[in-house]
Amino acid sequence: MRKRRSDLLVTVAICSAVVVVGCSSNSGSRSAPGVAVSGSASTSVSSAEAIDLDPTPPKRSAAKGLSKVRKCSDQKRTECATLRVPLNYANAGGKKLSLPVRWSTRAGTNAPTLLYLNGGPGLGNNRQFLKSTLNKLPKVAKNYRVAVIETRGTGDTALDCPKLQADPDAVEDVMPMRPNQIEGCGKRIGEKRKFYTTEQTIADLDRYRRALRISSWAVMGFSYGTFEAQRYAIAYPARTDTLTLDGVVRQDGGDAFYTPALHETGRVLREVCAEKNCGYDPAADLNKIVVEGMDGVAIFNALLFATLKQPYVYGLIKAIHKAANGNKRPLRQQIKIYPADPTSASEYSVGLFLATMCTDMRFPYGTSKAPLKSRPAAIREGVNEINPAALYPFDRTTARGQGQISNCRHWPRTRPGRFTNAKFPDMPTLVINGDWDLATPVSDARAQAARIPNSQMVVVPRWGHETIANPYGASQISGFLLREKPSVVDQ
């Protein structure tokens, strides 16, 4: 889940996806404030699914991949470099991508490293992301070398589809884009679009680890970064010391119809309304206007962004109530303010968002390899199988029309990213989510925590997306990382 343009500079995939470095740790879980959730017993997980796996630690003399290592000119106590990776790992001698990376040096050269993966997919600007992270986790910054990366297809290597970049609806997660522009973007990127899945990204991440000459690291992710982090941990369990997941995208990619978030909207609205003593049922109001024909997707989009960080959703609740009583103008005016301003591809790449989401996810029609003509019927059949109560206060029209389904329906046929529903390796894991988060709902976080052995679940009350921006959330993340900090084994 991405952020609005106003948040881009402080949160550099939605819904992102995410890491700490040191030697492999077998320490048990420790209790933390909140709700503890333990997964089932762990089993050995094969990492054969990932590409470019290297089961043996690299020797110091063999470490390669970083060039132009230097002190960053735009950020104090930080080093910058370029990570060279193959576009296609099956052809390592072919075209290369140059990915900007940087890491803080506040903790000193012998400190373990935290690689933190941002949301998206598609967000760039790793300088601001690192700055924001260091400010939110000052104790962690003194104990870890915090590392970030501009993943392939973002920043300097951004996939650029100019017509989509200029469309305000295209920088919103759930708003439908123009079909011809989606198809045109896929064709513009061409056959190389199959090399921009999460599968390639996690191979890039491990190449980054090897280039830093470290045997393992802990992984932390935000939003879509949690998906990357989980995929990395499953593929490289011996390289992952700890896992921190903030705003969780399930390891299976979640529900393409957004069913959990659509349904949890009712609970969130009612809880906010109860705190304000509003005296009416906002969920019933919302259902009424959606059934009467108001644009459920646009309303859902507005509510998503009103529940980022500290929720400011009450104004929308009042507008929804007025609309249910016949005055729809205030709600229409509020909905208009939510499309974000167009932005550059280097800051947020719509092309990368589509190339990754549409090939990583699984849909009613199967994968991105399905013929375009077969997709509409499969979508209709899939949404008709959903119990309307599971979507309340929204409806099937909203579920079918939101962008995750309606946009990927038009993405050109592409080799799909590899899918994993594997059992999780046993490692210390913090799963943390805002109780009022609609971008990555808390029900998904709880479901994923139950699948991870040795996990702790913390719910931040009265908070939306990005718990690291909440003082209590940041304290829980910091406490977990400092308790689980590994000893350093350098190679």
Residues in the chain: 491
* Strand, helix or coil for residue 49: coil
What would the two tokens of residue 462 be? 């009265």
Q: Give residues with Cβ within 8 angstroms of 109, minimum separation 6.
A: none
In a domain, 139, yes or no: yes
Question: What is the distance between the alpha carbons of residues 43 and 45, in angstroms, rounded to a whole number?
Answer: 6
Global pTM reads 0.86
Residue 348 forms part of a structural domain: no
Give the range of the structural domain holding residue 133, as residue numbers without chain letter: 5-159+196-252+420-483
489 part of a folded domain: no
Residue 435: inside a domain: yes
**Is 40 within a domain?**
yes
Helix, strand, coil content of the chain in percent (nearest 5): 40, 15, 45
Q: Which of 423, 477, 451 is nearest to 38 (CA)?
A: 451
Tell me, yes or no, whether 53 lies in a domain.
yes
CA 315 from centroid of its chain's CA atoms: 27
Q: Which tokens in the block code for residue 211? A: 């280039």
Give domain status of residue 170, yes or no.
no
Domain-located, residue 271: no
Residue 193 phi/psi, 5-degree rounding, is -60, -20
Give me the CATH number covering residue 446: 3.40.50.1820
CA distance linking residue 173 with residue 116, whole number of Å: 22
The residues pairing with 70 across neighbouring beta strands, listed in sequence order, are 80
CA distance 411 to 165: 16
Query: Closest Cα to residue 121, out of 51, 220, 225, 194?
Result: 225
Count of structural domains, the chain: 1
Rounded (10°) CA dihedral 416, 164, 310, 129: 70
The pLDDT profile of the chain, 491 residues, written as one tens digit per residue, is 444 333 433 333 333 332 332 222 333 333 332 333 333 323 333 333 334 444 333 333 333 679 999 999 999 999 999 999 999 999 989 999 999 999 999 997 789 999 999 988 998 888 889 999 999 999 999 999 999 999 999 999 999 999 999 887 777 778 999 999 999 999 999 999 999 999 999 999 999 999 999 999 989 999 999 999 999 999 999 999 999 999 999 998 889 999 999 999 999 999 999 999 999 999 999 999 999 999 999 999 999 989 887 778 999 999 999 999 999 999 999 888 765 666 889 989 999 999 999 999 999 999 999 999 999 999 999 999 999 999 999 999 999 999 999 999 999 999 998 877 788 999 999 999 999 999 999 999 999 999 999 899 999 999 999 999 999 999 999 999 998 766 543 33
Q: What is d(CA 475, CA 491) in angstroms, rounded to the nearest whole number? A: 32
